[in-house]
Amino acid sequence: MHIVTGGAGFIGSNLVQALIDRGHDVVVVDDLEDGHKFVNIADFCIADYLDKDDFLKRLATDAAFADGIKAIFHEGACSATTEWDGRYMMKNNYGYSQSLLHHCLDHKTPYIYASSAAVYGSSTEFVEDPLFEGPLNVYGYSKLQFDRYVRRVAANPASQVVGLRYFNVYGPREQHKGSMASVAFHFNNQVLDDGEARLFEGTDGYGNGEQLRDFVYVDDVCNVNLWFLDNPGVSGIYNTGSGAAQSFNDVANAVIKWHDKGKIRYIPFPDHLKGAYQSYTQADLTQLRQCGCDVTFRPVEDGVPAYLDQLCGPQQH
């Protein structure tokens, strides 16, 4: 069986689907205190569901269960960049990840975990190197500190340990994320509600709506995870983005084109985001390609329509 923590979340649930489509038995681990997330896994025939705290206890006490695990995909985390309870963030994101890492090292179980491009902060170079790492929030710090821990205790692991630094992921099953959902999700809702996509005015030297992000479709992210599953001899920390920065205007225009209606309106850049906002991200894929991963990443002009086909259905198109 394969374990997916955060399996009821956005990336996790898409990964669960990808694994089931391959014929694998999947155990979903999550925290359903927010029960709205159940819809992300309601249509899956999973092998089992475990609460995230019960999962750690089961690993420690049930040898047969632990021995039956083929791989652990650790997607679970508090991903809110606006969360400033550092004690909670470090316990939930850092401490839990450590516990799973040591279990996997002890049992030689492949461990593929979610890191984040938030580790780079305001850097303009996105290379997997401490020179370019400097998070702007405690979420980014929790992810960076775990990457540092992996570098220290699992630099040459006897079994696979892979950290994937996700950039701006968008796609189906993200509706529960609220304000933290992708701009594609929000632009779609805005166009449906009042016929306009609202983008920030220019900042940091960028024109209106021209801030650049590395937007990556969730299916492509899942394909990277599956590539590492198929290549257990490869370990390390790797950027997982498209490798091509695109503007918020590009995303909004893709949404408007799909609906064949709508317009863009620019709104003032919020004061509270000044100095704490990434105006540019672009994954350097050199190390990902050097390790042999050949997954193709689609541009927003292809990814956004694929997303809206699922989100809205063909009857809306």
Q: In angstroms, rounded to a whole number, what is the distance separating the alpha carbons of residues 129 and 56?
A: 31
The residue from 149, 177, 206, 280 that is catalytic is 177
Query: How far is the CA of 131 from the CAs of 34, 155, 249, in angstroms?
Result: 38, 18, 31
272-176-139-234 Cα dihedral, nearest 10 degrees: -140
- Helical segments of the chain, H only: 10-21, 52-61, 63-67, 86-89, 96-107, 138-153, 183-194, 218-230, 248-259, 286-290, 300-312
Alpha-helical runs (H) found in 49-137: 52-61, 63-67, 86-89, 96-107
Q: Which residue has the tokens 């983008």?
A: 199
d(CA 44, CA 41): 5
Residue 307 · residue 184 · CB < 8 Å: yes
177 is catalytic: yes
Verify whether residue 108 is a known catalytic residue.
Answer: no
Asked if 110 contacts 104 with a C-beta cutoff of 8 angstroms, the reply is yes
Q: Minimal CA–CA distance to 248: which of 199, 289, 204?
A: 199
Greatest Cα-to-Cα distance within the chain, rounded to the nearest angstrom: 58
Question: Residue 92: what are its φ and ψ, rounded to 5°?
Answer: -75, -45
Q: Note whether 292 and 234 are within 8 A (CB).
A: yes
Q: Which of 96, 120, 139, 170 is catalytic?
A: 139
Do the beta carbons of residue 32 and residue 76 sit within 8 Å? no
Q: Angle formed by the axes of helices 96-107 and 52-61, to 10°?
A: 30
Tell me the three state secondary structure of residue 169: strand
Which of left, alpha, beta for 260 (phi over 0: left; psi -120 to 50: alpha)?
left
Catalytic residue IDs? 139, 177
